Amino acid sequence: MTQTILVPTEGSPLSTKALETALADYPDAEVVVLHVADPIGSGLGLIDVMRPTFHDGSPPGSVSPEYWREWHEKAETKAKAVFEEAREKAAERDRTVETVLEFGDPEDVIVEYAETHDVDRIVMGSNCRTGTNRFLLGSVAETVVKRAPTPVMIVR
């Protein structure tokens, strides 16, 4: 039976390193690259915050339809770039990856994806925050480790 390895990524160097680790350590596994766009996120941890400038003058957090339309377009553009880099990394090892774009809270989306898609392991990067920053900001990786239905490998 083929293993399925989930690699959440936002395109950072640590998440790229996590993908490289997954490809090297699990040569026969199916690798799924998951990018989570969080419209509410703070930009810390495993998410990519897009604070775009909107043509209609709407402030961040606005409920303007134009705001969300532009945000969604920018999120998809960012995901395409992240996925292209992931495909290139996989091609360097004569591998392919499946790519998935989801919207929502990264911690919840990662755990839910692992639960509903029979994932055997999660391999993800950690920003290695310590002290006050970790206490105040939390850690997506830490939360995933606590809640995941499967083993989690943290790459630093």
Check residue 136 and give its pLDDT. Answer: 40
Q: Beta-strand (E) ranges in 9-151?
A: 30-37, 98-103, 121-125
What digits encode the pLDDT tens for the residues 54-111?
A: 555 555 555 678 878 888 899 999 999 999 999 999 999 999 999 999 999 999 999 9
Look at residues 99, 47, 50 and name the one whose alpha carbon lies nearest to residue 71: 50
Amino acid, single-letter form, for residue 135? F
Structural domain of 110? 4-155
Phi-psi region of 14 (alpha: psi -120 to 50; beta: other; left: phi over 0): alpha
Check residue 128 and give its pLDDT. Answer: 55
70: domain CATH number is 3.40.50.620
Q: Is residue 144 pLDDT above 60, yes or no?
A: yes
Q: Is residue 45 pLDDT above 70, yes or no?
A: no
* Residue 7 CB contacts under 8 Å (≥ 6 apart), including other chains: 15, 18, 19, 22, 31, 32, 33, 34, 86, 97, 122, 123, 124
Check residue 44 and give its pLDDT. Answer: 32
Number of compact structural domains in the chain? 1
Separation between Cα atoms, residue 79 and residue 100, nearest integer Å: 9
Check residue 2 and give its pLDDT. Answer: 77
* pLDDT confidence tier of residue 4, bands split at 50, 70 and 90: very high
